[in-house]
A and B are shown apart, each in its own frame.
Chain A
């Protein structure tokens, strides 16, 4: 298929940036979206132009690196899918595709489609862990049985890949789905109980400090999340936050 691409080009963090038009031809429906971008970049290199920079790594939907806003949707039109797992069979010959970076105050653009998501890391530094040293002398792994239901819910929350689609999608650029998922994973496990109160307080405080917005329950984050992280994690975080605030 032949496509017109309208892509955000921005030389550096301080550059103003603009949409630029490109044409690509001979795209197979079996290609992934990023392989289509590879074709474009090969074309640009061969004509002596600078290729489009974009974050990507595992290309199997798990590392959370890829981060494009495609036709107004984080990771494009297919639900439950990262950009690297989006395939060109979801588009038609002759389509015009708009490709932009994830946009949020807390995700400044570095170059073209590459953004800085280190604000997510800093939220994790503020409490995204259980304080246990690597001694090898912790109790036996089966010493504390955990109800399967709780373990499964913790796993569902832990499935977050930290891509930032929730933030990019939210009209408030809120990171509450991301933070809610991490708080929930630990809140659901007995190992996480000891520090549960401080964790919710600290992570929320850092989230606010990074300039993420608040949640107004529109639920767009859940819709666009490639890993299907549930909104109920936000509710759980709010509960943890509130109960932590009451001394």
Chain B
């Protein structure tokens, strides 16, 4: 074990980034034309990075596995993007966004990175508006805000329930401008399958053309990964079906440390599972918690009656409902951070109060909001004697304007009408705070290889606040990486074109081909999904919302065993050099089968509860915080950075000690 250095600049926290930018090495415009950069992934991080680097003059090669960069999974983000604009005059500031993010992350993020994120957050909104992103506006024509979990201000900008889509289309439009100029060469339907390192520096990738199956060599002076998170290790998650860890994992195997793999965000408001055939889970935006109240019946007999269909939720009297978040956390109520809300839902369901047939669902109820908005509207319209029915009608219009598309989506999936009956929700895997370890420059432990957005680990600690993923993706891509990568590339201006005709490229290509051929030639009997579902079960049951030593040890053994079985018995029809979706899946699941084990190993090492990582061995006993997660700052205030050594069980732990000079570490209380 050794300690590693995050290369955080010296000086007061509020000056670090400004001073860094003032002193950083630049590449002159004529030299940028001679430098190539590969960007893998075209979500908010990769897309914004590709566009900005190309604007600056670098030659960018961008890769995505989808048929168009516009379809990257950032598109599914619903609720919004945070920025410390303080347009509402409600006390927001750069410091407060910084503080909220560090606290929300349960003091396991790198202070300097988070402060930089808060600083550039306001630029993001300016930039996006200039690009034509249609954010929601009020009647005065100014930008509207809403509030998200874990904060006391309204700093979230949004575009209906499609904020991720609109921000991504903004980045995509910026890419389009550069594709038209020839500054971005776009490779759709391509998947990165290995990183190529020459003389200790990342110099290219091996990619598979998913249409022809052809294996291609691509070289560059630097490689940027904006390849997202690994939530699909759980099989069921809110990620897209294709979201995967392969690019990040291959990079890890080539020497990049993997940081905090056990930090996973389980989002509290998703549509519950309905059967074994289920292929993915759908999120209902956290913004719904602005107006929805979460509850379960307070009496067991009501739970029974609801499950057997004898009672409707609307028939349960107010006094027999348990608004458990409002009860346990009066200060933040329904807007506690995601990890807290998820565990509270699990606690009620484990205690037998879950409201659907599986026992794994709680209510999210808009009845009170509908009446509250209805009364306000009646007053505004001068309808002083409005009936209850009229008030509800008026209230529903407002709720529809705010959350209409989410309500429609819920109705489409469940066939229930949430305007009339409360929604049923349950936590689901949503986001992974862990990822490739990066320093302050966003460079991984491989020289010249960068990781941005969800693919890295740096900004969200052990728990991410709502509407901060979009902020981080765009901050990294538009405003941080373009500075930091220039500093590195300023040493590369005399290097010249990188050849792909070298032993390093040949070795990596051979490696990829062998693996693909062995998968299609396996002649096994079980489908890829069979293994993926098995892995997901182990992960959810033993590495999910609540973890303990015994379960984690079992998970490590079971995943290793499952992986062996996979290589013996998986069946992948079709050939390696053609469009073959089963082969794509097989490669991704094979990597998840390794990552899952490292995940459990990391969770076992961290014998404390922090953010999304809850260890049953580490809880508060007695006092006002009884039963809440107990952090252990004395022993665990570090980033775990794992080095690959041949197999996940041999991975070596390196530590980056976290120091907090500007924020005092306290018990994270939302009571």
Of A39, A50, A63, A124, the contact of B73 (CB 8 Å cutoff): A63
Segment 385-435 of B: residues with Cβ below 8 Å from A: 408-409, 412-413, 415
Report yes or no: B141 in contact with A148, Cβ–Cβ below 8 A: yes
Report yes or no: A136 in contact with B479, Cβ–Cβ below 8 A: yes
Given contacts A38-B277, A85-B409, A141-B126, A49 and B579 within 8 Å (CB-CB)? no
Chain B residues with Cβ under 8 A from A186's Cβ? 132
Segment 135-190 of A: residues with Cβ below 8 Å from B: 136, 138-142, 145-148, 151-152, 154-155, 158-159, 161-162, 185-186, 189
Report yes or no: A63 in contact with B66, Cβ–Cβ below 8 A: yes
Report yes or no: A87 in contact with B66, Cβ–Cβ below 8 A: no
Interface residues on B, range: 35 or more
Report yes or no: B130 in contact with A51, Cβ–Cβ below 8 A: no
Of B130, B279, B415, the contact of A132 (CB 8 Å cutoff): B130
Report yes or no: A146 in contact with B130, Cβ–Cβ below 8 A: no
Name the residue among A31, A35, A128 with the largest chain B CB count within 10 angstroms.
Answer: A128
Chain B residues with Cβ under 8 A from A136's Cβ? 120, 123, 126-127, 478-479
Given contacts A35-B278, A53-B581, A58-B76, A64 and B70 within 8 Å (CB-CB)? yes
Chain B residues with Cβ under 8 A from A30's Cβ? 274-275
| B300: interface (CB < 8 Å) | no
Of B120, B131, B137, the contact of A130 (CB 8 Å cutoff): B131
Chain A residues with Cβ under 8 A from B132's Cβ? 130, 154, 185-186, 189, 191-192
| B162: interface (CB < 8 Å) | yes
Complex Cα spacing A197 to B55, Å: 23
| B68: interface (CB < 8 Å) | yes
Nearest CB of chain A from residue B95's CB, rounded to whole Å: 20
Complex Cα spacing A64 to B169, Å: 12
Report yes or no: A133 in contact with B478, Cβ–Cβ below 8 A: no
Report yes or no: A142 in contact with B143, Cβ–Cβ below 8 A: yes
| B574: interface (CB < 8 Å) | yes
Report yes or no: B277 in contact with A85, Cβ–Cβ below 8 A: no
| A32: interface (CB < 8 Å) | yes
Which chain B residue shows the least CB distance to A42? B527
Report yes or no: A118 in contact with B131, Cβ–Cβ below 8 A: no
Of A49, A60, A134, A185, the contact of B174 (CB 8 Å cutoff): A134
Of A63, A87, A191, the contact of B130 (CB 8 Å cutoff): A191
Segment 272-289 of B: residues with Cβ below 8 Å from A: 274-275, 277-280, 282-283
Given contacts A12-B578, A155-B134, A28 and B140 within 8 Å (CB-CB)? no
Of A31, A132, A154, the contact of B277 (CB 8 Å cutoff): A31
Q: Tell me whether chain A's interface is mostly helix, strand or loop, or mixed.
A: loop
Per-position 1/0 for A113-126, Cβ under 8 A of B: 01011101100111
Report yes or no: A28 in contact with B275, Cβ–Cβ below 8 A: yes
Chain A residues with Cβ under 8 A from B172's Cβ? 124
Spot the interface stretch: B108-116, B176-184, B442-450: B176-184
| B316: interface (CB < 8 Å) | no
Report yes or no: A62 in contact with B165, Cβ–Cβ below 8 A: yes
Chain B residues with Cβ under 8 A from A114's Cβ? 579
The 6 closest A-B pairs by CB, nearest first: A145-B141, A129-B173, A136-B123, A138-B130, A155-B134, A154-B134
Residues of B within 8 A of A (CB): 48, 51-52, 55, 66-71, 73, 75-76, 85, 87, 120, 123, 125-132, 134-143, 159-160, 162, 165-166, 169, 172-174, 176-177, 179-180, 186, 188, 211, 238, 240-242, 274-275, 277-280, 282-283, 408-409, 412-413, 415, 478-479, 482, 525, 527, 529, 571, 573-574, 578-579, 581-582
